[in-house]
């Protein structure tokens, strides 16, 4: 029998802890760096009876800005719901989330349609790996958590990885979340199904994905596993599976609760919000606060500088490096200067600065001067690298360093013409070859002149002088 072509379908659910000073419904600190357990807590996030939650405006604003950036629809009306379930990490017995009226619906990212973006509270952090007991840290209980859900439209593990990376970048650009996956500030769940027809297959939800790499690997693994199940005559069970990082495989955790098990209902302790009546949540007002977004920056860089895509990507991923680049380019002229600057930043300077451009003694001003010297042929690329290393360590002016190191290339025609003429006399046979059409002979003559000046001559000036002298 011919093997059928199975196509995977992926829908992502991504949580991100929002950057706010205080928690979602109380004024306990929201501090993901806090190491001492159970210090950022209060009666509200500990669910003491008689306490009342208060909505954190900053958290709502973060989600709305994400919605605007994604081109989604900002809700006119919104409310919070109780999602009821019992677990030790959720002291109230329910999580405050959003069900029917999420803050944002629709929008797209990396070519994938977004279903919704809503706001909820994070749970406490439990650890079961200490021994014959479990520990719970409530510092995280009630931290504002954004949840973004995509439509089942993602077609490969690679696409899913790209989507998640782009979302991380967006959250950072917006200052909405630090979104480090290793720290659990961003958490990705992947729903995966396979099908050989137009109809979608049964989905499996994969949890515990702590890096982009594991997102991709888990989706690949799950795709293959489901195909094998079907090919061997079985059917895929709808369930939640975990990702075992050591074994690089998914494992069954539990059959998924369907949503009615949570008995969602509007939280009677919280006001319903008519967002369109809150001035600062108007779409135009929010839009004004949105910085240049990653995809806008890519487009601008491609148009304005004509630099390599991978260079652009380095700048899009590192805002400080991009600022340094733009400040440099503003001190030079034209696309060639930009390309030269970009080359030296991404292949030399970024390495010297070890990922933090603020940790170098070079300023965009001294760097621009260095690039101008390279562009004018005053120093060789070898010389530029030496000067760069020195500037990185001790700062200073590139011209001065070049003089100290005695590596300024001579472009002074008056001085060099004598050298050129001497070479022409000395190598008359090569000159004859050149005149007979052997154009490569010119390179030899320039090389001889370079040798004569011990590398201090500007090869471009030499070429011009040879051209002129030999034509005359
Ligand atoms: P649930 O009711 O289990 O929460 P939803 O329909 O709300 O399921 O979808 C949750 C996530 O699963 C979404 O990201 C959605 O895109 C994805 N999803 C739904 N159906 C499929 C499917 N057949 N294959 C892959 N992903 C799916
Ligand atoms: Mg949720």
- pTM beyond 0.95: the answer is no
| Residue 63 CA to ligand 2 centre (angstroms) | 14
Ligand 1 close to Cβ of residue 191 (< 6 A): yes
Ligand 1 close to Cβ of residue 9 (< 6 A): yes
Give the model's pLDDT for residue 378. 85
Please list, in sequence order, all residues whose beta carbon lies within 8 angstroms of the beta carbon of residue 230, skipping any fewer than 6 positions away: 6, 194, 201, 236
* Ligand lying nearest the CA atom of residue 190: 1
* Ligand lying nearest the CA atom of residue 257: 1
Ligand 1 close to Cβ of residue 289 (< 6 A): no
Instruction: Kindly report each contact of residues 222-225 with a partner whose C-beta sits within 8 Å and lies 24 or more positions away, as own/partner.
Output: 222/190, 222/192, 222/250, 223/6, 223/8, 223/157, 223/192, 223/194, 225/249, 225/250
Q: Which ligand 1 atom is at minimum distance from the Cα of 12? A: 14
Q: Which residue among 152, 167, 209, 236 is best mutated to probe the pocket of ligand 1, counting the most ligand atoms within 8 A of its Cβ?
A: 152
Low-confidence ranges of the chain (pLDDT < 70): 1-3, 256-260, 411, 472
Among 206, 146, 161, 197, CA closest to 20 = 146
Give the model's pLDDT for residue 259. 54
- Give the sign of the dihedral formed by CA 376, CA 382, CA 383, CA 388: positive
Burial, 193: exposed, middle or buried (Cβ in 10 Å; 0-12, 13-18, 19+)? buried
Sheet with 81-84: strands ordered across: 94-97, 81-84, 265-266
* Ligand lying nearest the CA atom of residue 117: 2
Please list, in sequence order, all residues whose beta carbon lies within 8 angstroms of the beta carbon of residue 400, skipping any fewer than 6 positions away: none
Q: Are 377 and 411 in contact (CB under 8 A)?
A: yes
| Residue 229 CA to ligand 1 centre (angstroms) | 20
401-430 pLDDT tens trace: 988 888 787 767 777 888 888 899 899 899
* Ligand lying nearest the CA atom of residue 236: 1
Dist CA 472 CA 469 (whole Å) = 5
Q: Are 463 and 446 in contact (CB under 8 A)?
A: yes
Dist CA 121 CA 95 (whole Å) = 7
Among 87, 89, 85, 98, CA closest to 46 = 89
Q: Which ligand 1 atom is at minimum distance from the Cα of 205? A: 12
Residue labelled with tokens 């991404």: 346
DSSP-derived letter for residue 240 is: E
Burial, 166: exposed, middle or buried (Cβ in 10 Å; 0-12, 13-18, 19+)? middle
| Residue 15 CA to ligand 2 centre (angstroms) | 8
Distance set, CA 402 to CA 280, 361, 384 (Å): 55, 17, 9
- Give the sign of the dihedral formed by CA 441, CA 442, CA 443, CA 447: positive
- Exposure on the CB side of residue 175, measured as CA atoms within 13 A: 8
Q: Hey, what CATH topology would domain 413-471 get?
A: Arc Repressor Mutant, subunit A (1.10.10)
Q: Are 169 and 316 in contact (CB under 8 A)?
A: yes
| Residue 236 CA to ligand 2 centre (angstroms) | 24
Cα–chain center distance at 356? 15
Kindly report the length of the chain: 472
Ligand 1 close to Cβ of residue 46 (< 6 A): no
| Residue 91 CA to ligand 1 centre (angstroms) | 28
The domain ranges of the chain are 7-285, 294-405, 413-471
If DSSP codes are grouped into helix, strand and coil, which group holds residue 455?
coil
DSSP-derived letter for residue 22 is: B
Dist CA 22 CA 395 (whole Å) = 41
Q: Which ligand 1 atom is at minimum distance from the Cα of 256? A: 3
| Residue 6 CA to ligand 1 centre (angstroms) | 18
| Residue 21 CA to ligand 1 centre (angstroms) | 33
Q: Are 423 and 453 in contact (CB under 8 A)?
A: no
SS3 sequence of 314-380: HHHHCHHHHHHHHHHHHCCCHHHHHHHHHHHHHHHHHHHCCCCHHHCCCCHHHHHHHHHHHHCCCCC
Q: Which ligand 1 atom is at minimum distance from the Cα of 151? A: 16
């Amino acid at each position: 029998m011919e093997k059928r072509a199975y196509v995977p379908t992926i829908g992502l659910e991504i949580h991100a802890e929002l950057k706010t000073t205080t928690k979602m419904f109380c004024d306990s600190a929201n501090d993901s760096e806090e190491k001492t357990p159970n210090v950022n807590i209060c009666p509200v996030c500990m669910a003491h009876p008689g306490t009342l939650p208060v909505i954190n405006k900053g958290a709502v604003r973060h989600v709305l800005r994400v919605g605007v950036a994604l081109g989604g629809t900002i809700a006119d009306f919104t409310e919070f719901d109780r999602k009821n379930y019992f677990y030790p990490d959720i002291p109230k017995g329910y999580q405050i989330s959003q069900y029917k009226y999420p803050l944002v619906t629709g929008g797209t990212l990396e070519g994938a349609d977004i279903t919704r973006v809503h706001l909820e509270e994070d749970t406490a952090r439990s650890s079961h790996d200490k021994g014959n007991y479990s520990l719970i840290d409530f510092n995280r209980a009630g931290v504002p958590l954004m949840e973004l859900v995509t439509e089942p439209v993602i077609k490969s593990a690679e696409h899913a990885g790209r989507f998640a990376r782009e979302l991380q970048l967006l959250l950072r650009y917006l200052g909405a979340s630090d979104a480090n996956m290793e720290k659990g500030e961003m958490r990705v769940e992947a729903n995966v199904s396979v099908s050989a027809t137009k109809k979608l297959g049964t989905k499996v939800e994969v949890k515990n994905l702590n890096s982009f790499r594991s997102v991709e690997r888990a989706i690949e693994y799950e795709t293959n596993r489901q195909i094998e199940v079907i090919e061997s005559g079985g059917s895929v069970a709808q369930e939640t599976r975990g990702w075992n990082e050591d074994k690089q495989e998914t494992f069954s955790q539990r059959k998924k609760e369907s949503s009615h098990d949570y008995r969602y209902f509007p939280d009677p302790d919280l006001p319903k919000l008519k967002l369109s009546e809150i001035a600062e949540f108007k779409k135009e007002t929010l839009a004004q606060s949105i910085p240049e977004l990653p995809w806008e920056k890519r487009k601008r860089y491609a148009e304005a500088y004509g630099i390599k895509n991978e260079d652009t990507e380095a700048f899009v991923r590192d805002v400080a490096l991009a600022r340094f680049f733009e400040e440099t380019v503003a001190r030079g002229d034209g696309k060639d200067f930009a390309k030269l600057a970009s080359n030296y930043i991404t292949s030399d300077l970024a390495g010297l600065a070890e990922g933090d451009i603020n940790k170098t003694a070079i300023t965009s001003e001294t760097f621009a001067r260095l690039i101008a010297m390279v562009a004018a042929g005053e120093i060789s690329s070898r010389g530029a690298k030496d000067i760069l290393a020195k500037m990185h360590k001790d700062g200073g002016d590139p011209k001065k360093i070049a003089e100290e190191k005695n590596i300024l290339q001579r472009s002074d025609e008056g001085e060099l013409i004598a050298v050129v003429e001497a070479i022409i006399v000395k190598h008359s046979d090569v000159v004859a070859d050149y005149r007979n059409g052997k154009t490569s002979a010119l390179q030899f003559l320039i090389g001889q002149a370079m040798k004569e000046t011990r590398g201090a001559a500007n090869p471009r000036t030499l070429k011009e002088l040879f051209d002129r002298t030999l034509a005359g």
